[in-house]
Amino acid sequence: MGSRPTEPVIKNLSLTVEAGQKVAIVGRTGSGKSSLVLTLFRMLDPSSGSIAIDGVPLSVLPRQTIRSRLIGVPQDAYLLPGSVRLNADPLKQCTDKEITVALKAVQLWDIVVKNSSPTHHSHPLDVDVEELHLSHGQRQLFCLARAMLRRSRVLVLDEATSSMDSQTDALIQRLLRSKFAAHTIIAVAHKLDTILDFDRVAVMDNGTLIEFDAPYKLLGRPESAFAKLYAASRVDEDDDF
């Protein structure tokens, strides 16, 4: 929360995201990005003001309803104990064919088949997900396949690719643009190169919204906070190289 118990993390923030827009939320550590996402899922409740989706305030909806209608992909991929099928489709809304197509899209289907045994599994999707021994990046891809199978049209990403290798990150970026083209996407972004084709960037600082515009418009303003963040990120990448 804030530096003091009574100090709000997010202050004086007013933001409208249109249906189908791709909006990135950026800012330095502690700027309030993740708190904003937690508030969307009602894991935090605002002390004042409100958040509405399609004109319906989230405060009047049960938390479980909100979380079933929004697709969340966090930074740390979480898999349930149980089969691949259960993890890909925990709400049991999809056919085996749909699950298979999603796992092929994220390049995990061959791993599932390789670890299935005809003598122990009636279908490759019956394999226990822990038997796949997925890497961190592969687990994140699995969560993206799960997101692809959800019926919702709102996708929320909380720095989902911040610790990915470049190959996995590139695959995730391609999938976001092909499989979620019609979705509304709200993405807390660490790698600023990946959101330059988004519709809007919301720049946060100390819990407030200081800029909200198209990425290239902000980059075209030398005094822009986003332009400064982007320049700093390029320097950091050069140092890492």
**Rounded Cα gap, residues 212 and 202, in angstroms:** 5
For residue 157, the cross-strand partners are 73, 187
* pLDDT band, very low/low/confident/very high, at 143 (cuts 50, 70, 90): very high
pLDDT digits 0-9 by tens, 83-128: 999 999 998 999 999 999 999 999 999 999 999 887 667 899 999 9
Q: Which residue has the tokens 């709000």?
A: 8
Residue 178 in this model has a pLDDT that exceeds 50: yes
**Rounded Cα gap, residues 44 and 33, in angstroms:** 13
Enumerate long-range contacts of 165-172, CB under 8 Å, 24 or more apart: 165/137, 168/137, 168/138, 168/140, 168/141, 169/194, 171/106, 171/107, 171/141, 172/140, 172/141, 172/144
Q: What is the per-residue pLDDT for 161?
A: 67
Region 170-185 average pLDDT: 94
* Residue 172 half-sphere exposure toward CB, CA atoms < 13 A: 28
Region 80-85 average pLDDT: 95
Record the pTM. Answer: 0.89
C-alpha 34, offset from chain centre: 11
What is the Cα gyration radius of the chain?
A: 19
Q: What is the per-residue pLDDT for 160?
A: 67
* DSSP state for residue 205 in the 8-state scheme: E
Residue 2 in this model has a pLDDT that exceeds 70: no
**Rounded Cα gap, residues 34 and 41, in angstroms:** 11
Nearest-5° Cα angle at 125, 124 to 131: 80
Region 223-227 average pLDDT: 96
Three-class SS of residue 181? coil
Q: Which residue has the tokens 């490759």?
A: 124
Q: What is the per-residue pLDDT for 233?
A: 85
Q: What is the per-residue pLDDT for 47?
A: 84
pLDDT digits 0-9 by tens, 45-61: 888 888 999 999 999 99
Three-class SS of residue 178? helix
Residue 3 in this model has a pLDDT that exceeds 70: no
Burial-class residue 36 by CB neighbours within 10 Å (0-12, 13-18, 19+). Answer: buried
Q: What is the per-residue pLDDT for 49?
A: 84
* DSSP state for residue 47 in the 8-state scheme: S
Instruction: Locate the domains of the chain by residue range.
Output: 1-78+153-241, 80-133
Three-class SS of residue 182? coil
* pLDDT band, very low/low/confident/very high, at 74 (cuts 50, 70, 90): confident
Residue 241 in this model has a pLDDT that exceeds 50: no
Q: What is the per-residue pLDDT for 166?
A: 84
Domain 1-78+153-241 has CATH 3.40.50.300: yes
